[in-house]
Amino acid sequence: MQKIRLLLPFTHGVQAAALEYAVLMAQSRNAVLVPLSIIQVSNECGAKGARLEYIQQSQDFLAAVKYNALKHGVEVEQKEVYTSDAVACIRECIQTLHCDGVLLLVENGKGILLQTIEVKHVIASAASQVHLIHIQSQHAESVDKSFIERLASVFARGRIQSTTTV
């Protein structure tokens, strides 16, 4: 039986608790986690490529996901891409990487790992299941495994699943 594949897109803001939520979600679904680090490049004339800080954040993100995945026994397939259009890249990668869904995380109405506007556009345009995880700031420091188990049961119900931490 082929494993479910969950895309975890990233453009900025490595947050350890959010990454652990994503890894534990993949673990609860017995899924392959596909962390996709998107390095923004400018498409303006004369642009000299990606900024060093974006490349460093990408490396930090991929290393943190790999560490958490090893800790929790989750299979990962890391990808890193350079693009000027993050949302189009996410849509394309869902298809080319054969992902069954995409994990999006928000805290207090703002995107985590992606900019808020990117989260909104992915929700509006994704052809696969969108799993929207709401992380409440007072709980962001600790991960409740029972929450992840309860959340896994919610995933089976529709294209967009929205959940709030307890």
- Higher-confidence residue of 9 and 42: namely 9
Tally the domains of the chain: 1
What is the average pLDDT across 88-117? Answer: 93
Can you give the residue range of the structural domain that contains 41?
A: 5-164
Give the model's pLDDT for residue 118: 94
The band of 44, judged by pLDDT with boundaries at 50, 70 and 90, is low
Give the model's pLDDT for residue 140: 40
Give the model's pLDDT for residue 90: 95
- Give the Cβ contact number of residue 65 at 10 Å: 25
pLDDT at 6 over 80: yes
- CATH number where 75 lies: 3.40.50.620
What is the average pLDDT across 66-84? Answer: 96
**β-sheet bridge partners, residue 137:** none
The one-character DSSP state at 76 is: B
107 contacts: CB under 8 Å, gap ≥ 6:
18, 134, 135, 136, 137, 140
Residue (of 33, 92, 76, 83) closest to 54 by Cα position: 83
pTM: 0.80
Longest dimension (CA), the chain: 51
